[in-house]
């Protein structure tokens, strides 16, 4: 366990190392990132005079990067304990915010990018932006938006576009786009502040190599060939994967989320999230010799996992909704695995998992175990995990969804009064959730978002106009 004064080197998302020092220790650790970045692991003496990393990128206002971390949360693989130094006098000894180890490194990269890649005049405009309104002239469309706008959805924009209009939005970092390029890649290349892109149904050839993107999401049809920028850290392939991807170091620096495995050109990924229905495809993990972290989330039907045991460098395995997983297919103890987390499984298999790794040194976390009988009735209920927060409240939420879904399913699309009937069904559903939260105080931010997604799905199934759905949900909910 770390103690006050301990110094640890942190691997960074795009290569190299940062470092932090523990400035206070107790039930939690207060850790402060140091103003340091090097290509190789630093020596302890290199950091003796290092002060705090000051964050002033984007909406940060010149504060040290300091956070509280759970004291017994083990350091991830790749973090290097360097030794102990007197706590630097400029490092804060307390903090009110809580976080986790994986969030430390990215801030070093984002601050460095802000300092070295974003022109001074762009940084100044970002900081000076207020909350007034401005007209955004996109050529065939004119929009009025807040000058503090961060995200802009242009998926419905048709025809030619005047990309210079984006310069009226000094804080714009995120775009959503659909269809052909129409000058998109060039516009992104000319605007280093634009770092996040969601692209639906892109064309066959997509070259983003000259852009400054750090996050990219592709929906729908896939490009045949995709060329990524060197600074990309996160790629979500939420439709068919490209046939070919061109990426720096074969994708080594990319955290990949995919529903269809890993395409050619990304076989060097070290962090992979698979969202699957049924069994994990046999070929999904083939040839991933560099993979270190794997998260598998089943979306139903709930299948098995094969192939993880053949990954020579895998140290972290996370499984979510693993109701069809057989413990015998997990990596054997004694290999590279150091941490296993399973969130959502059959309680009849929980003991077998813990026994498999007993005494092996693998840290095992098992949450959300549910009986076979309960799963028979609720395995496809989108609110099933609420029972992990509160057994009675979660069960009541599951029942509320079952009642609402059954009633929505009985509506006729040909009935002119179907939307009105759906309104009553949905209002009763939200009223029930209000009562559950009032009684059990269990609907936090995450659960509120889940409730909203379920509400939207039910409303769309009933044919409720999209413009009404969010308005109804916000009007009726008390959580």
The pLDDT of residue 16 is 96
Residue 93's pLDDT band (boundaries 50, 70, 90)? very high
- Give the pLDDT confidence score for residue 258 in this predicted structure: 96
Prediction pTM value: 0.88
Instruction: Tell me the backbone φ, ψ of residue 158, rounded to 5 degrees.
Output: -110, 160
- Identify the residue whose tokens are 């080594």: 252
DSSP secondary structure string for all residues of 174-219: EEEEESS-TTHHHHHHT-TT--EEEEES--SEEE-TTS--SEEEEE
Which residue, chain included where needed, has tokens 């706008």? Answer: 149
What average pLDDT does range 87-107 have in this prediction?
Answer: 93
pLDDT, tens digit, 9 for 90 and up, residues 423-444: 999 999 999 999 999 999 999 9
pLDDT band, very low/low/confident/very high, at 140 (cuts 50, 70, 90): confident
Q: What is the pLDDT of residue 128?
A: 95
Question: How far apart, in whole angstroms, are the C-alpha atoms of residue 214 and residue 202?
Answer: 18
Say whether pLDDT at 413 is over 80. Answer: no
pLDDT band at 169 (very low <50, low <70, confident <90, very high): very high
Whole-number pLDDT of residue 281: 82
Query: Is 80 exceeded by the pLDDT of residue 196?
Result: yes
Report pLDDT for 414: 76
Average pLDDT, the chain: 94
CB 390 within 8 A of CB 374: no
pLDDT tens per residue across span 388-407: 999 999 999 999 999 999 99
Q: 220-231 burial string, b = 16+ CB within 10 Å, else e?
A: eebbeebbbbeb
What's residue 282's pLDDT?
Answer: 75
Lowest mean pLDDT among 263-272, 280-289, 380-389: 280-289
pLDDT value at residue 300: 81
**Cis (ω within 30 of 0) for the bond into 301?**
yes
pLDDT in tens, 110-135: 999 999 999 999 999 999 998 899 99
Domain parsing of the chain, residue ranges: 6-116, 124-378, 384-476
């Amino acid at each position: 366990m770390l103690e006050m004064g301990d110094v640890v080197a942190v691997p960074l998302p795009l290569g190299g190392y940062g470092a932090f020092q523990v400035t206070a220790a107790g039930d939690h650790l207060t850790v402060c990132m140091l103003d340091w970045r090097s290509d190789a692991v630093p020596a302890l003496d290199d950091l003796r005079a290092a002060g705090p990393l000051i964050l002033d990128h984007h909406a940060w206002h010149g504060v040290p990067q300091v956070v509280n971390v759970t004291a017994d949360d083990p350091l991830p693989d790749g973090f290097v304990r360097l030794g102990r130094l007197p706590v630097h006098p400029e490092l804060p000894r307390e903090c009110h915010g809580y976080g986790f180890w994986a969030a430390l490194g990215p801030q070093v990269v984002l601050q460095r990018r802000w300092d070295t890649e974003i022109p001074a005049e762009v940084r100044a405009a970002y900081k000076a932006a207020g909350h007034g309104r401005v007209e955004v002239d996109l050529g065939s469309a004119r929009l009025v938006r807040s000058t503090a706008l961060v995200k802009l959805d242009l998926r419905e924009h048709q025809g030619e576009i005047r990309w210079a209009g984006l310069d009226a939005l000094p804080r714009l970092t995120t775009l959503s786009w659909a269809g052909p390029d129409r000058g998109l890649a060039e516009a992104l290349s000319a605007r280093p502040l634009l770092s996040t892109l969601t692209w639906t149904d892109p064309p066959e050839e997509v070259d983003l190599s000259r852009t400054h993107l750090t996050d990219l999401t592709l929906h729908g049809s896939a490009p045949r060939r995709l060329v990524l920028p060197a600074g990309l850290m996160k790629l979500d392939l939420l439709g068919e994967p490209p046939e070919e991807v061109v990426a720096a170091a074969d994708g080594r620096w990319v955290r990949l989320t995919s529903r269809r495995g890993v395409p050619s050109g990304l076989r060097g990924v070290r962090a992979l999230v698979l969202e699957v229905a049924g069994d994990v495809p046999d070929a999904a993990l083939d040839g991933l010799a560099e993979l270190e972290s794997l998260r598998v989330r089943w979306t139903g039907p709930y299948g098995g996992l094969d192939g993880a045991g053949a990954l020579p460098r895998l140290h972290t395995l996370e499984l979510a909704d693993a109701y069809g997983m057989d413990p015998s297919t997990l990596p054997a103890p004694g290999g590279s695995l150091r941490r296993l987390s399973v969130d959502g499984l059959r309680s009849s298999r929980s003991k077998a998992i813990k026994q498999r790794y007993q005494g092996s040194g693998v840290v095992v976390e098992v949450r959300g175990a549910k009986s076979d009988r309960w799963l028979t009735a609720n395995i496809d209920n989108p609110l099933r995990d609420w029972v992990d927060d509160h057994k009675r409240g979660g069960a009541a939420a599951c029942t509320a969804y079952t009642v609402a879904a059954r009633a929505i399913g009985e509506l006729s699309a040909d009935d002119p009064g179907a939307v009105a009937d759906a309104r009553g069904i949905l209002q009763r559903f939200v009223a029930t959730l209000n009562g559950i939260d009032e009684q059990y105080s269990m609907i936090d931010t995450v659960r509120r978002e889940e409730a909203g997604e379920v509400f939207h799905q039910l409303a769309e199934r009933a044919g409720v106009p999209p413009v009404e759905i969010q308005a109804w949900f916000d009007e009726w909910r008390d959580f």
